[in-house]
């Protein structure tokens, strides 16, 4: 809900608030930097202020700034607000003005919060502010107060040196500010699952080093373009990061794998990817690997096969989608904005054998891999191309 005369954004966070004070202030500082980066990336004017427990943005463009803030990891909600002196008369006058411009009919309530030293309580704000709203609109409408389930809520947040009047909240993604964890190498295929997995790791504060394996003729014509496009979309959630996509060409290695390995081939392809990802993690200072796998989604993702896959690497493999159903993943992909691209048909050639193994014994998987297998993975990692990726914003987000 728009607030006439809004000149500020109230930015709320969640999990940061339960940290020790030293960690909290460092995380709030990181959040402030990320908010600033989001505003500049979208060319929105604004100055971010860090206060204990809250951040504020002063801006001449409150409604686009609030939408931008609500796209930043760590933000639980953002509200465009009008700032006023922390005095009862000024608050009532502003409430009356906002009500005149935004109330039409139905019930209303004042939701007041207060922190600091004032000559009035939050109950006073509710009562006196409610009367001011009533007087402002009673001539024209027949207002009714309903504190339990109002049609209109007028919110007031009073702080030491300032008060804010606002009308609603835009939900953010929650999580932790990106950059408050160490980076992770994210395996991104451009399909539905992997961009969502990478996004969820970012949501918990970990910057992502995206890694795409070019499957050569097994990938189909648009396979790489699809991966680049999904990385651009998730990059828009953290435009302050340096977004470099690493591309490892494994087309000819896949041909060798398909020629030499039978039923356990898919697992060896996964193992090759994880082994190469570990090399990249070591080189880039990452602390682990992220994939879009989910228990039982396909034969290579049974718990037994995930175990066999992990045996190729010492690196921790994080699987944020472990317990997600496909429909839940699709819903996430739609809200993140990667779904459309992920469903473009790339004419991908199937690598999977006719009867893929659902519970492959490790000895058989390892036994089928040639002696040079780990060397192939090292070579793939050594020859990555690095593409600089520009964040891609939704058309109406700037
Ligand atoms: P997605 O929809 O994410 O592509 P999927 O359901 O098709 O995954 P698989 O093809 O078995 O599942 O891949 C499992 C995971 O392995 C993917 O989520 C991704 O993290 C990684 N992966 C698969 N193919 C590639 C690739 N070409 N490049 C990078 N990572 C890949
Ligand atoms: Mg998929």
pLDDT digits (tens, 9 = 90+) for 180-219: 999 999 999 999 999 999 999 999 999 999 999 999 988 8
State residue 389 phi and psi, 5-degree precision.
Answer: -115, 130
The residue count for the chain: 398
List pLDDT tens digits, range 294-339.
999 999 999 999 999 999 999 999 999 999 999 999 999 999 999 9
Distance CA 361, CA 344 (A): 35
Contacts (Cβ under 8 Å, ≥6 apart) of 384: 211, 246, 247, 248, 280
> Measured from the CB, is residue 188 less than 6 Å from ligand 1?
yes
Contacts (Cβ under 8 Å, ≥6 apart) of 354: none
User: What does the DSSP 8-state code read for residue 348?
Assistant: P
Report the DSSP beta bridge partners of residue 163. 84, 158
Same domain assignment for residues 133 and 231: no
Q: Within a 10 A sphere around the Cβ of 364, how many other Cβ atoms?
A: 14
196 lies in a domain? yes
Distance CA 342, CA 66 (A): 28
The domain total for the chain is 2
Same domain assignment for residues 19 and 131: yes
> Measured from the CB, is residue 155 less than 6 Å from ligand 1?
no
Radius of gyration of the chain (CA): 26
Domain boundary among 116, 142, 171: 171
- Closest C-alpha to ligand 1, atom 18: 292
Q: Which atom of ligand 1 is nearest to the CA of 266?
A: 11
Same domain assignment for residues 158 and 237: no
216 lies in a domain? yes
- For the range 364-367, what are the long-range contacts, defined as Cβ-Cβ under 8 Å and sequence gap of 24 or more? 364/264, 365/264, 365/267, 365/268, 365/271, 365/308, 366/311
- Which residue matches tokens 């930015």? 11
Report the CATH number that the domain containing residue 42 is assigned in CATH: 3.30.2130.30
Distance CA 119, CA 42 (A): 41
Same domain assignment for residues 355 and 243: yes
pLDDT of residue 360: 87
Among residues 258, 271, 260, 262, the alpha carbon closest in space to that of 355 is found at 262
352 lies in a domain? yes
164 lies in a domain? yes
Q: What is the mean pLDDT of residues 110-124?
A: 95
- pLDDT of 343 over the 60 cut: yes
State in Å: Cα 308 to ligand 1 middle: 16
Give percent of the chain above pLDDT 90: 89
pLDDT of residue 268: 96
- pLDDT of 349 over the 80 cut: no
State in Å: Cα 332 to ligand 2 middle: 13
Contacts (Cβ under 8 Å, ≥6 apart) of 263: 353, 355, 356, 357, 360
- Which residue matches tokens 């034969």? 299
Domain boundary among 136, 171, 206: 171
Give percent of the chain above pLDDT 70: 98
Same domain assignment for residues 155 and 191: no
Distance CA 236, CA 131 (A): 44
- Closest C-alpha to ligand 1, atom 21: 187
Same domain assignment for residues 189 and 61: no
Domain residue limits at 34: 8-171
Same domain assignment for residues 343 and 232: yes
1 lies in a domain? no
Same domain assignment for residues 52 and 194: no
Residues 339, 226 contacting (CB under 8 angstroms): no
Same domain assignment for residues 166 and 214: no
State in Å: Cα 35 to ligand 2 middle: 32
Same domain assignment for residues 117 and 262: no
Q: Within a 10 A sphere around the Cβ of 11, how many other Cβ atoms?
A: 29
312 lies in a domain? yes
Among residues 81, 97, 60, the alpha carbon closest in space to that of 6 is found at 81
Residues 251, 215 contacting (CB under 8 angstroms): yes
- pLDDT of 397 over the 80 cut: no
Domain boundary among 171, 203, 222: 171
Ligand nearest to the CA of 228: 1
DSSP secondary structure, 83-151, as one string: EE-SSHHHHHHHHHHHHHHH--SSEEEEEEEE-S--SS-HHHHHHHHHHHHHHHHTTTS--EE-SSS-S
Contacts (Cβ under 8 Å, ≥6 apart) of 53: 17
Residue to mutate, 184, 185, 191, ligand 1, most ligand atoms under 8 Å from C-beta: 191
177 lies in a domain? no
pLDDT of residue 222: 84
Same domain assignment for residues 210 and 147: no
Cα–Cα distances (Å) from 285 to 19, 186, 190, 275, 382, in that order, read: 26, 13, 24, 16, 15
Q: What is the mean pLDDT of residues 83-94?
A: 98
Mean pLDDT of the chain: 95
Residues 136, 99 contacting (CB under 8 angstroms): yes
Distance CA 268, CA 344 (A): 26
Q: What is the mean pLDDT of residues 347-362?
A: 82
> Measured from the CB, is residue 215 less than 6 Å from ligand 1?
yes
Question: Which of 246-250, 262-266, 267-271 has the lowest average pLDDT?
Answer: 262-266
- pLDDT of 249 over the 90 cut: yes
365 lies in a domain? yes
Same domain assignment for residues 144 and 222: no
Report the CATH number that the domain containing residue 379 is assigned in CATH: 3.40.50.620
> Measured from the CB, is residue 192 less than 6 Å from ligand 1?
yes
Q: What is the mean pLDDT of residues 246-264?
A: 94
């Amino acid at each position: 809900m728009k607030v006439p005369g809004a000149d500020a954004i109230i930015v709320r966070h969640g999990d940061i608030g339960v940290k020790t004070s030293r960690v909290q202030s460092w995380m709030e500082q990181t959040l402030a930097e990320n908010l600033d980066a989001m505003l500049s990336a979208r060319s929105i004017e604004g100055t971010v202020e860090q206060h204990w427990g809250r951040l504020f943005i002063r801006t001449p463009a409150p409604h686009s700034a609030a939408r931008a803030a609500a796209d930043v990891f760590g933000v639980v909600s953002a509200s465009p607000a009008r700032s006023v002196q922390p005095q009862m008369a000024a608050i009532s006058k502003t409430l009356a003005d906002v009500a005149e411009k935004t109330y039409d009919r139905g019930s209303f309530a004042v939701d007041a919060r207060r922190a600091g030293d004032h000559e009035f309580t939050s109950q006073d704000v509710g009562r006196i502010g409610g009367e001011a709203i009533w007087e402002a609109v009673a001539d024209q409408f027949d207002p009714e107060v309903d504190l339990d389930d109002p049609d209109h809520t007028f919110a007031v947040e009073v702080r030491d040196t300032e008060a804010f009047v606002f009308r609603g909240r835009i939900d953010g993604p929650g999580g932790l500010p990106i950059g408050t964890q160490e980076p992770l190498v994210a395996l991104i295929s451009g399909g539905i699952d992997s961009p969502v997995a990478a996004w969820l790791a970012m949501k918990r504060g970990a910057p992502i080093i995206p890694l795409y394996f070019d499957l050569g003729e097994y990938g189909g014509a648009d396979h790489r373009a699809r991966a680049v496009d999904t990385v651009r979309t998730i990059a828009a959630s953290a435009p302050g990061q340096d977004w470099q996509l690493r591309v490892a060409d494994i087309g000819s290695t896949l041909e060798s794998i398909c020629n030499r390995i039978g039923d356990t081939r898919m697992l060896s392809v996964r193992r090759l990817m994880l082994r190469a990802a570990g090399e990249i993690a070591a080189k880039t200072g990452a602390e682990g690997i992220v994939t879009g796998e989910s228990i039982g989604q396909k034969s290579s993702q049974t718990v037994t096969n995930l175990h066999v896959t992990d045996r190729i690497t010492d690196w921790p493999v994080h699987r944020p989608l472990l317990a997600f159903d496909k429909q839940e993943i699709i819903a996430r992909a739609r809200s993140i904005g990667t779904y459309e691209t992920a469903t473009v048909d790339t004419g991908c050639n199937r690598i999977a054998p006719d009867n893929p193994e659902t519970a492959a014994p490790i000895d058989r998987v390892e036994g089928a891999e040639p002696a040079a297998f780990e060397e192939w993975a090292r070579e793939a990692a050594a020859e990555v191309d690095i593409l600089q990726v520009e964040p891609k914003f939704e058309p109406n987000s700037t």
